[in-house]
A and B are shown apart, each in its own frame.
Chain A
Amino acid sequence: AQSVAQPEDQVNVAEGNPLTVKCTYSVSGNPYLFWYVQYPNRGLQFLLKYITGDNLVKGSYGFEAEFNKSQTSFHLKKPSALVSDSALYFCAVRDGDGANNLFFGTGTRLTVIP
């Protein structure tokens, strides 16, 4: 069975500092990993994905994520945080051998402090 864990409910970072939002996963087959962002009263917006290949994936708005197979992690990163990055971030996994739907973590609220 697939599962995703986001160990931090809340992450605070100063504007201009690097940010990391953590995610670990569990799947029975090859993982297909995704990060989404949710702004207040909005749906989920796709940021980036890992399917195969390079362990460092680049996405929208300057975000990137590092896939680590041995640690079963897929942490979201950004070198320099902006106040406008403040939002709710969700990690999701799709089992390569299983269903087509996404399994989401519980979300991490990122607050960038001016």
Chain B
Amino acid sequence: DAGVTQSPTHLIKTRGQQVTLRCSPISGHKSVSWYQQVLGQGPQFIFQYYEKEERGRGNFPDRFSARQFPNYSSELNVNALLLGDSALYLCASSARLGQRNQPQHFGDGTRLSIL
């Protein structure tokens, strides 16, 4: 079975632009979470979605938004890009919500560079 897949793998944008990142969870997984990993730091939680509804939000500005589709894939949108948005964006999936004893499974990420 395929793992978590993310696209694109790399992206270069300029300040002020908008970007959309995509994620497909492991087959059968219904929960998708997004994390931002700035160089030299650990991943930071942005959003969690389950059954197309937002179930958690980290400390990120409203420029960040996301949605989940009926097939459980997800998109992360970032508007008005800033230099500080340059990071590796990771998507993680898990089977259901509330399974705190289960690990999240991560994709290889999208590396976003802002010029």
Binding site for B on A (CB under 8 A): 4, 32, 34, 36, 41-46, 49, 51, 90, 92, 94, 96, 99-107
Instruction: State the CA gap A101–B56 with chains docked (Å).
Output: 8
Residues B42-57 near A (CB distance < 8 A): 42-45, 48, 55-56
A–B Cβ pairs within 8 angstroms, 7 of them: A43-B107, A99-B56, A101-B45, A101-B56, A102-B92, A104-B35, A107-B42
Contact between chains at B103 and A34 (CB < 8 Å):
yes
* Smallest CB separation, B81 vs chain A (Å): 22
Contact between chains at B98 and A100 (CB < 8 Å):
yes
- In the A-B complex, the 3 residue pairs with the smallest Cβ-Cβ separation, listed nearest first, are A104-B42, A43-B106, A101-B45
List, in ascending order, chain B residues with CB within 8 A of A45's CB: 106
Instruction: State the CA gap A90–B92 with chains docked (Å).
Output: 15
* Smallest CB separation, B10 vs chain A (Å): 10
Contact between chains at B48 and A100 (CB < 8 Å):
yes
Does B108 sit at the interface, judged by CB under 8 A? yes
Contact between chains at A43 and B101 (CB < 8 Å):
no
List, in ascending order, chain B residues with CB within 8 A of A103's CB: 45
Contact between chains at B45 and A43 (CB < 8 Å):
no
Residues B16-52 near A (CB distance < 8 A): 31, 33, 35, 40-45, 48
